[in-house]
Amino acid sequence: MPSKLSRRQFLTTSAVVGASPTLIVPQGVKPVVISDVSGIRFKNGGPVSSIEKAFELMTRGTRVIDSVVAGVQIPENDPEETGIGYGGLPNAEGVVQLDACCMDGPTKRAGGVAAIEGVRTPSVVAKAVMENTDHHLLVGEGAQKFARLMGVPIEADLNTEKSRSLWLEWKRRIDPSHYLDPEKRAEEGYRAGLSMVADGLIAEDHFWGTTNCSAVNDKGEIAGVTTTSGLSFKIPGRTGDSPILGAGLYVDGDVGAAGSTGRGEANLYGLCSFFIVEKLREGLHPKDAGMEALKRVQANTVEKRLLNDRGLPAFNLRFFALNKKGEYAGVAMYASGEAVYGVCTDNGAEERPLEPLLEGGP
């Protein structure tokens, strides 16, 4: 004798019988690519931005990791984007040193490079590290030698006329003919850089550098990449959060992805990208997860030199997060300077406002 159907089972069965076949097929995730503002505004003289390129490739069947790395090569090669790749603002000695990291959800692998010289697209080398070695991070001369072995072109100097002229202006402002004690010298160099931001010579987001790009396709596969020239006029060899797993980027293929731009040292103390992904795992929306990370950074910022006259962080920090369901958000300590981020969906590329934790600016 057939078993009786419950009312819930009856209604479900009736809906399926009366529906068209397309409605009973499980729907995939709505694909989306997110990035900081560089991912939408810089096109290297071409017709598409980083997020548009990544979205186009991804939705045509290219692996998500290949798509996002192909996308960020657009701003990496753009000489007008002075915070990334070719023409990125150099270190204190006038040498362009670059960092990058990529992470692939489906394969649960990652690769990174730091303080690499002579390579316009460190994201490509980071992916080569992921795919061709048993390591995550290669640095300095070793990273450059590896890049050469992988067939990546090595150039003698990645400065452009613009980046070199800005470095010379910075040198003039810190008066390099006088060597101050280490603390005062660091303060003078930092103050000189910020004065150039205030004078409109360097965009705030370019001073800190960095672009982050993460994506999820219609299968729920996730990947991300972060690439940067680092803090402008940094101490040679300085490496920030960008190439460090859990800081500048973190991806869990079962959960989501998060990446960062802004003051890398503040992010490193809390490994905030990892923290955000763990909050996504707990069920938080990407916006709420990002806000929790910003609150942690604020609470951990206690040094007087890092606080403004309101007792709040005297720097900006931004996070870009998405989950496996295709939900996403961009948050910032302050919605000033770089106040928007890029999103690309079936509706095309558009700028969205960053959600700030604190009012005003740093």
| Phi, psi angles (nearest 5°) of residue 245 | -60, 130
| Phi, psi angles (nearest 5°) of residue 154 | -110, 130
Starting at the edge strand found earlier in the chain, the sheet holding 137-139 runs 137-139, 109-116, 98-104, 222-228, 211-216, 32-36, 340-345, 348-353
From CA 116, how far away is CA 118, in angstroms rounded? 7
Q: SS3 letters for 254-273?
A: CCEEEEEEECHHHHHHHCHH
Whether 210 is catalytic is yes
- What is the full DSSP assignment across 289-316? HHHHHHHHHHHH---GGGB-TTSSBSS-
Map tokens 């960008």 to a residue.
242
For residue 46, CA distances in Å to 49, 68, 71, 78 come to: 8, 17, 12, 10
User: What kind and span of H or E run contains 189?
Assistant: helix 182-198
C-beta neighbour count of 339 within 10 angstroms: 19
Strands (E), the chain: 32-36, 98-104, 109-116, 137-139, 211-216, 222-228, 249-252, 256-262, 317-323, 328-334, 340-345, 348-353, 355-358
Task: Check: CB of residue 48 under 8 Å from CB of residue 71.
Answer: no
Residues whose CB is less than 8 angstroms from the CB of residue 159 and which lie 6 or more positions away in sequence, other chains included = 87, 90, 94, 96, 167
User: Which is the catalytic residue, given 59, 82, 160, 210?
Assistant: 210
- In angstroms, the first-to-last Cα distance of the chain is 74
Active site residues: 210
